[in-house]
Amino acid sequence: MSIKDNYNAKYEIWAKKSIVASFPQMILPFNFSAKKFKSYKEMNDWKKELIEKIAENGGVKWKQS
- Convert the pLDDT of each residue in 9-42 to its tens digit: 777 877 887 777 778 888 887 888 889 999 999 9
Residue 40 located in a structural domain? yes
Q: Is 20 helix (H, G, I), strand (E, B) or coil?
A: coil
| Whole-number Å distance between alpha carbons of 63 and 23 | 9
Residue 8 located in a structural domain? no
| Whole-number Å distance between alpha carbons of 57 and 54 | 5
Residue 7 located in a structural domain? no
pLDDT at 47 over 90: yes
Residue 49 located in a structural domain? yes
Q: Are 3 and 13 in contact (CB under 8 A)?
A: yes
Residue 56 located in a structural domain? yes
- What pLDDT, on a 0 to 100 scale, did the predictor assign at position 4? 62
Report the predicted TM-score, pTM, of the whole model to 2 decimal places: 0.56
Nearest 5°: the CA angle 23, 10, 21 is 10
Residue 29 located in a structural domain? yes
Tally of domains in the chain: 1
What's the domain range around 31?
A: 23-65
